Amino acid sequence: MSVLMVPSPWKIRDRTFVWGSRTHLMGVINVTPDSFSDGGQFNTVERAVAQARHLVHHGIDIVDIGGQSTRPGADSITRTEELDRVIPVIEAIRHDDDDALAQAIISVDTTRSTVARAAVRAGADIVNDISAGTYDKGMLSTVADLGVPIVIMHLRGTPITMQQRTDYHDLIGEIYEFLQHQIEAAIAVGVKPSKIAVDPGLGFAKTSAQSLELLQQLSRFRELGSPLLVGPSRKSFIGWILDQPDPQKRVWGTAAACCAAIAGGADILRVHDGAEMHDVCRVADAIWRGRG
């Protein structure tokens, strides 16, 4: 049996992320009018900052800010539009009077290197790229230059086409090979291996049944040697199981999926419901990580 290496800790601001010690939470803030679950709820600076404050004070470790919807069928927006949505929110968080919020760990959810650079300049700490650096050929070298961690995710196609790209001969093997290839591509342009996290991409170019298979075999991705991020929150596979078309009514289903991800070795969970999933993680960590 192979011995899995524990990924190196991330040291960001005044915090150290020691992988395997507990589950870390990434809270979603979509500064968009059209995201699948919360589109339009946080698409002003004031509402986005208020949500960030709520998440930070309810157990969230990383605030993930995105200006481009990646729901199935979503249209692309211009770079200027994305910058106009994301940068003011990051700047407002960094200048907030609430010290806990002002010092929050921020990731920027973008596939554009120019947005990543501007976001880090404004105060972001992590780049979260759903395309793993494949949409913008300058992304990986930009991240290397910035010296920040990156999350690379598996998908096929674009949000418009991805749900027509679900034909796999070997689901787990093909996702593993893609992530391994992108890790190597990132390292080749100067990204430190210790600053790469991987995300198998639940729901992105995956059917509901395939998303379940991913959760069932999640521990396979530990072999990549990188921190493992999983984003089950309110996803369509949960709605498929529960016959629940409203994403905001999938909180209990999300809790079950989060437990499965923790049992499979996830290091970071990307979630919408911060307080609820913080409780889930505390109990699941007591069971599977011995943190009673």
Instruction: Report the run of H or E that residue 126 belongs to, with start and end.
Output: strand 126-129
Active site residue 235: yes
- Which of 195, 206, 235, 250 is the catalytic position? 235
Residue 274 lies in a domain: yes
Residue 270 bears catalytic tag: yes
pTM above 0.75, yes or no: yes
**Does residue 112 lie within any of the structural domains?**
yes
Kindly state whether residue 10 falls inside one of the protein's structural domains.
no
Q: Assess if residue 12 is contained within a domain.
A: no
Catalytic annotation, pick one of 270, 282, 289, 291:
270
The pLDDT value recorded for residue 35 is 46
Tokens matching residue 215 = 């959760």
Q: Is residue 243 part of a domain?
A: yes
Q: Which domain holds residue 75?
A: 22-288
Q: Which residues of the chain have pLDDT under 50?
A: 1, 35-36, 38-39
Q: Looking at the 3D structure of the chain, how many domains does it have?
A: 1
Give a yes or no: residue 207 inside a domain: yes
**Residue 82 falls within a domain, yes or no?**
yes
Identify whether the C-beta of residue 236 lies closer than 8 Å to the C-beta of residue 260: no
Q: How far apart are CA 109 and CA 127, in angstroms?
A: 6
pLDDT at 160: 84
146: domain CATH number is 3.20.20.20
Q: Which residues contact 264 (CB under 8 A, 6 or more apart)?
A: 215, 216, 217, 218, 219, 230
Residue 221: inside a domain, yes or no? yes
Tokens standing for residue 14 = 């005044």
- Tell me the pLDDT tens digit for each residue of 4-57: 678 999 999 999 999 999 999 999 999 977 544 544 577 789 999 999 999 999
